[in-house]
Structure 1
């Protein structure tokens, strides 16, 4: 016997379908050219269903940015968890962030359209709940016991470096020399900033 879905189940399924469809549309066309009509068509729902869940296209983008941020977070957390020291976890997490940002989803939605459309403050709130939070924790663990060094300042510096490096790598995602150079630069930067 087939289990009957509740109204909450149907709403959740509709929301997920909208997020998946919007993600595809944003990656293929960018936020500005993405059409809500195409999102609704891809999701197989009505326009009313779209506006029930999201008041406007920017709110839909914010939800998609958050979903991508969660995926990037998971990749970073997984890489860092396999490391043998806080310093190595920090470097491994930074490399995992850069790798995750090579995907078209992360590049287009998370690094380009997210900050441009949502504004820097809103994008930072989302990022702060995910990757930036992990980076802050990693810097804090690496600095454990040191005094006179500002973990927030170092986190901000490393976050900016990672975001710029991710965009630079995304310009040539198949360039292995560029990727190798960034991997070495991450190791060098972490080693110099957090000399044991």
Structure 2
């Protein structure tokens, strides 16, 4: 019986994963309003009944897609910071923010996270999910930099939200610019200067 239950759980998880992957691709390409649950079920290779067994409505599916996207962004940022191996919390902040900026210029992220997210989920739920993932990651990094004496002591949440606002605006700017390479370099420089301006004292180890 336990083996049977595990098999059923695995099948359910597999169906759920397939639906989320298909919906993420479709929502990212066409937008929430232009995608039906029928189209998602067909793309996922499941019945509409199987889709609704996992998600009671399209909005619930979108929320799962948005959370999946947020986890992907956290992974991208984490990988970039780990690869830099700077040993300095402020340098890690810069690397993480630049990785976030780069990832956020992707059409999928623009559509799901920045355009449809606050409209479909409502601003409060949209922000709540971001705080559980990307914004939470930034808040932890800022708190660590403050504790290490690399950023002056100040309230973390408003600082994080102001930085996120800058990143969101920069990513939308880059997503619609006609001079990609030059504007990307300029935007990266601005973000780097913004974060560097929070510095207190020399880099750790110096």
User: Which residue is equivalent to 2:77?
Assistant: 76
TM-score by length of 1: 0.91
Is 1:108 matched up with 2:115?
Answer: no
Is 1:9 matched up with 2:10?
Answer: yes
Write the distance in 2 (CA, Å) between the matches of 1:39 and 1:147.
48
- List, as ranges, runs of 4+ consecutive aligned residues in structure 1 with deviation greater than 4 Å: 145-148
Deviating more after overlay: 67-76 vs 101-110: 101-110
SS at match of 1:179: helix
| C-alpha spacing 1:100/1:32, structure 2 compared with 1 (3 Å) | same
User: Which residue is equivalent to 2:98?
Assistant: 95
Mapped contact 1:143–1:194 kept (Cα < 8 A): no
Query: How far off is 1:66 after superposition?
Result: 0.5
Which of 148, 163, 166 is equivalent to 2:168?
A: 163
Post-superposition Cα deviations, 1:128-186, rounded to whole Å, max 9, x if no partner, equal 11111111011112222476522222112111111111111122387011110111111
Mapped contact 2:74–2:137 kept (Cα < 8 A): yes
Deviating more after overlay: 139-148 vs 85-94: 139-148
Query: How far off is 1:62 after superposition?
Result: 0.5
Q: Which runs of 5+ in 1 are unaligned?
A: none
TM-score by length of 2: 0.87
User: Which residue is equivalent to 1:51?
Assistant: 52
Is 1:190 matched up with 2:195?
Answer: yes
Superposed, 1:138-149 pairs within 5 Å as: 138-144=141-147, 145=149, 149=154
Mapped contact 1:94–1:162 kept (Cα < 8 A): yes
Write the distance in 1 (CA, Å) between the matches of 2:23 and 2:87.
39
Q: CA RMSD in A?
A: 2.0
Write the distance in 2 (CA, Å) between the matches of 1:174 and 1:52.
46
Query: How far off is 1:195 after superposition?
Result: 3.9
Write the distance in 1 (CA, Å) between the matches of 2:165 and 2:107.
20
Mapped contact 2:29–2:108 kept (Cα < 8 A): no
| C-alpha spacing 1:173/1:10, structure 2 compared with 1 (3 Å) | farther
